[in-house]
Structure 1
């Protein structure tokens, strides 16, 4: 699972940096984020220390920011920052049983993530929460509704996001297959360092082309 996420994200980012006209590379890249969202929820549920888990995400987000701006988006906040925000929201929601309080937390965080240009914005937050609170048919329906909302907000440019539903289909309906994919593990340092390191490499490649 981790390997699929890393490879599809790499394909996506290579498409942005080196092959802007090759839309199929961006299409393949849509597979990555739902897997990262799913992995984040699993990490949130099973980590020994949620404080340390948040700290690791924050450090990775900070390390990734400059390469992200140089390689992909000079004005945005990277996807690890999005995952950090989503993990923070899940922790805050776990501290209260009030539906209104939970809704207020999600609304406030969603507004912040839209005002400040977090990668995927509120869509990314809602995707993570979908994996946290739904399963099977409800998860699939929620993901589909999110993609339709994304399409309405971003027009034809959001059409490729529809492919992101593929890993959700596997999670919802292919647990046996998904367990085998989850069994293919990579070393922790590779998983944690892949995002900032591959961005740094792409930033250097982009700089060399100048």
Structure 2
């Protein structure tokens, strides 16, 4: 029996690779963040309530608002795929502690551009970026593995990580941790893994009619292979860099004036 998970396809080379899933998640995330940062905070909000009321009253503002909702719905696909890939990375990595610290370091470096994009402030503790959610997800999986024969300790660890995600106001909060934990817990049972993933994804995206659940269509066809797209550890660099770029776009970009 190979080390591949239960979601692998029988025909080697068929299906969807990890790299293709990662690319899909990156594209979805970029579209989502463009909508939230450039369209909304830049064009429609401008970090000013008075400006926002003026902007959405214009014809251009109404068109941008429609585009904003479409892009945000597309963006719901990203997190479940990243959560799934995180569990796969945890399963196959040779050093789980290094894996945790890589993600945590990305989260720390991303927090300033994240706060600038959301609040136009260098530091704001109202919300923390997705890197911290993923870091807590790795911690949850670590303790799930450590206490795999002690159910009470195992699930108590998950609840503590979920509580920390809420306390720290991490992106997606406790539901994000529960999604990661469920995908890891049912890693050898395809039907339960997909079903639990869909359940928590719908819960995460009720405002967008459960659109996040659609991410499990490509995940269903995951073949357990890395793939041939040379993405490597692109996400660690891309995440803070694209936030920085989008903030520069709204900082130097023009707002709606009429």
Shorter-chain TM-score tier:
0.7 to 0.9
2:213 to 147, 161, 165: 165
TM-score where L is the length of structure 1: 0.86
Q: Is the 8 A contact 1:140 1:169 kept in 2?
A: no
Q: In the alignment, does 2:28 pair up with 1:8?
A: yes
Q: Matches of 1:191 and 1:145 in 2, distance apart?
A: 26
TM-score normalized by the length of structure 2: 0.71
Tell me the residue number matched to 1:205: 249
Q: How many residues get paired?
A: 200
Q: Does 1:98 align with 2:150?
A: yes
2:72 corresponding residue in structure 1: 26
Superposed displacement of residue 111, structure 1: 1.3
Between the aligned partners of 1:61 and 1:144, the Cα distance in structure 2 is 26
Check the 8 A contact 1:67/1:199 in 2, yes or no. Answer: yes
Closer, same or farther: CA 101–128 of 1 in aligned 2, 3 Å: same
CA distance in 2, matches of 1:48, 1:100: 27
CA RMSD of aligned residues (A): 2.0
Could you tell me which of 99, 111, 114 is aligned with 1:53? 99
CA 1:159 to 1:139, structure 2 compared with 1: closer, same or farther past 3 Å? farther
2:179: which partner in 1? Answer: 127
Which structure 2 residue ranges, 5 or more long, are not aligned? 1-20, 41-64
For 1:72, what is the secondary structure of its paired residue? helix
Question: C-alpha separation between the residues in 2 aligned to 1:58 and 1:141?
Answer: 29
Give 3-state SS (helix, strand or coil) of 2:127's partner.
Answer: coil
- For residues 48-83 of structure 1, the C-alpha deviation after alignment (integer angstroms, 9 at most, x for no partner) is 111111111111011111111111354211001100
Q: Which runs of 4+ in 1 moved over 6 A?
A: none
Give the equivalent residue in structure 1 for 2:111: 65
Matched, 1:145 2:206: no
2:132 corresponding residue in structure 1:
81
